[in-house]
Structure 1
Amino acid sequence: MARSAAYGALGQWELAGADAKECVQRNPKFAKGYHRLANAQQQLGHRAEAIATLKAAQSSATDPEKVPGIKKLLRQLNQEEAAANPAAGSAQGGGRQVPTHIAKELQELQPKFMNVKREVEQIDAKLAAYARQKKRLALVEKEVAELPEGTNTYRSIGKMFLQTSTEENAATMKSDQKKTDEQVASLEARKNYLNRQKLSLEENITELLAQCST
């Protein structure tokens, strides 16, 4: 199961899904296994399969309520499915005909929601990369600080290495750290804006779906 999570963190969703599927087959009562599998299926664009997996978790797994992500992901996928295919969503909800204006609004909202969601995921990936970069810089900075004064060090520039003093290297790393912090702050601000936009779109979709069921 930990291996599936590791594959997911690396964006290797096919491997993550295969590992999670094996986990579910071995232990059909393990709720988190279903959640990992559905998440991988969603990332691969297999929305219907992900919905089926989460429904299986609710009926087969032990205490699926202890994995809050199951309900949340299922609700999100159902919203996406209904927005992408409002006629099908109506049929499942009792055969009511979706008003044309609601169907049109849902079809307009769905790609907007998916675009925002995709950009948030891209930002998360960049933030994770910057976090690793900051850790590496902090480690190197600590090692350089422990070197005797006047020791020559090397700084990479593309595929080349430039000999520099420890002081110059430390100054360069501080500058790099500052640039990284600025980029992280910019990404965080963008992510916060997108999350507000995403929440607003989710609320709009939920409201439209509620109108279809009344």
Structure 2
Amino acid sequence: MRFNSLLGTTTAVALAVLALAGSFVDASPADARQNSAPSQARTLTPSGNSLQDFRALVNNAIQLVPKFGFIQLEGTEVTQESINQDQVERIVMRNRDGIIAREIELQYAKPSDKDHPIYAIITDYSDNEAATIGSTFFKFKYNQNTGIIQSYSLETPNGHAFVLATPSGNGLQSLMFHKMSGATGVSLGSAEAWDGKSTPVFTDPQA
């Protein structure tokens, strides 16, 4: 069964991630300083086509600006459930025929910590679920002192990248988008600081 296969893959990846003890939080003094909010808020605008580049990289499946959320495919209905003793939250988007078009699995370190998913696997399927179009792997790293997101790492069929989130005041963060193939990061603009507690699904990318 395709879902059991995916769950097996998820479990295997989870074991590998959890083997890196504390990898999804960091209590180093440098990170604590980095995540202390400045007194003045700074609102940044995206650099050039950075938002379009990011959306293309993740196949328009997730957004970070102006706030974190997943993107619902047009013409689909969304269902959500918790599985694997509540360590996995599954978000499924089905078309009008009930066929799964996109599947998102959020993995938590333990059932008692449902505030901080450690990674997400986003999988898109062909019209009849017979084939996987592509999968995106998103890893989340939080600041241990604040519980706020510190960075995102992603692996997609279109390439690898990471996004650094730096506090800019008034509950906002400035996001810098770095492609692994490029030496210089570009600004995605300002976003609401995400604490991992909510995983909304938007019908359209937010402005």
Shorter-chain TM band: under 0.3
TM-score scaled by length of structure 2: 0.19
By percentage of residues, which structure has more strand? 2
Q: Which has the larger radius of gyration?
A: 1
By percentage of residues, which structure has more helix? 1
Higher relative contact order (CA 8 A, sep 6+): 2
TM-score scaled by length of structure 1: 0.19
